[in-house]
Amino acid sequence: MLNSRPKYLDPQTDFGFKRLLTTDTNKDLLIGFLNEVLSGERRIADIVYNQNEWRGSAAHKKRVIFDLLCTDENGGQFLVEMQRLAQPSFKSRVLYYASMLITEQLQPGRKRVDEYVLLPLHFIAIMGFKIAEMEEQCIENVGLCSTRSGVIFDKGLRFTYICLPNFRKEEGQLSSKLDHWLYIFKHLATLQHQPDAISDPLFNKLFKIAEYNQLTAEEKLMYDQDLKIERATRNAEYGIREEGKLEGILEGKLAARVEIATELLKLKLSLSQVSAVSGVSIEDLNRMVER
């Protein structure tokens, strides 16, 4: 058990994010968040959670696990990813994930009058780090538009990047429900009580669900393990960044994956779990274990 126990779960962890937003009993929370991101453009009344594991074609069989994938009542898809730590080529990964889901819509067996009429896809990336393109912006909406006029060319594919480090409002400055959500994503783990400014039935439910003491004994172990994995990953990446200043970027990236895997193996995680987090293949992990 960790010595210091905050009152609330950290929604930027895998466990915390999934507990709050990825279960049928809490889908009203997800609907509330999505509607605030849409900013009145349209209203979602209901969603269905989709399988979050995707396997590529037989040619390469790449397996990807999304944080959250759902479909609204009109068939539009939402892919929501929480990424706390900076990741090389993150924007490319976002585009790759979106491309996979678009490709999936064109698979054999999906009969339509026009097979190339695609259902809308909205990718929402919640980031615990900065990307250069956003400068000081907290939210950036990206779509397919004309480079000449800036007019939206096609509404079928949309990306919303949310940069939590750029969200600097204090409790007394929160002016919208979206502000409330961003404040929760950024600060929930450090709060000791529900802020007076964030109080309605939906957020009251969220704060109750987020209490650490609401977890079962097994869930507490899972959450604590999640925190340990993240700490090991962060420490390993920090060490490699410092070392990489001397050894070179490419060598540092490879060493980082190995170091992260080493730390995770010490936590007695399964090889598949270590591989998913570190990016080191199970074959290479077996070699590491045998040493």
Q: Which residue has the tokens 């068939």?
A: 75
Mean pLDDT of 73-98: 92
**What confidence tens digit (pLDDT) does each residue in 176-212 have?**
999 999 999 999 999 999 999 999 999 999 999 999 9
Residue 1's pLDDT is what? 43
Residue 234's pLDDT is what? 72
**What confidence tens digit (pLDDT) does each residue in 105-153 have?**
876 665 555 667 788 999 999 999 999 899 999 999 999 999 999 899 9
Q: Would the pLDDT of 162 be above 50?
A: yes
User: What's the CA gap between 209 and 21, in Å, rounded?
Assistant: 10
Q: How many helices (H) and strands (E) does the chain have?
A: 9, 8
β-strand partners of 124: 80, 160
Is 71:48 a contact under the CB 8 Å cutoff? yes
Q: What share of the chain is helix, strand, coil (3-state, %, to 5)?
A: 50, 15, 35
How does DSSP classify residue 25? G
Is 166:204 a contact under the CB 8 Å cutoff? no
- Among 165-169, 251-255, 275-279, the least confident range: 251-255
The residues, ordered by sequence, that sit 6+ positions from 111 with a Cβ below 8 Å of its Cβ are none
User: What's the CA gap between 132 and 81, in Å, rounded?
Assistant: 19
Mean pLDDT of 84-109: 85
Q: Single out the residue of 43, 45, 26 nearest to residue 35, CA to CA.
A: 43
SS3 145: strand
pLDDT band, very low/low/confident/very high, at 221 (cuts 50, 70, 90): confident
Is 58:70 a contact under the CB 8 Å cutoff? no
What separation in angstroms does the CA of 67 have from each of 44, 53, 137, 190, 242? 20, 9, 24, 23, 30
Mean pLDDT of 44-50: 96
pLDDT band, very low/low/confident/very high, at 229 (cuts 50, 70, 90): confident
Entry pTM: 0.80
| Contacts by residues 57-60 (CB-CB < 8 Å, ≥ 24 positions apart) | none
Residue ranges of domains in the chain: 14-214, 219-290
- Among 78-92, 117-131, 140-154, 252-266, the least confident range: 252-266
Pairing of strands 152-163, 139-145: antiparallel
Q: Would the pLDDT of 47 be above 90?
A: yes
SS3 216: coil
Pairing of strands 152-163, 53-55: unpaired
Residue 115's pLDDT is what? 66
How does DSSP classify residue 146? -
Q: Single out the residue of 69, 142, 126, 131 nearest to residue 102, CA to CA.
A: 69
Q: Single out the residue of 29, 131, 132 nearest to residue 80, CA to CA.
A: 29
Residue 171's pLDDT is what? 95
Residue 173's pLDDT is what? 97
Q: Would the pLDDT of 268 be above 90?
A: no
The residues, ordered by sequence, that sit 6+ positions from 223 with a Cβ below 8 Å of its Cβ are 9, 13, 15, 16, 212, 215
- Among 71-75, 225-229, 246-250, the least confident range: 246-250
Q: Which residue has the tokens 């962060």?
A: 234
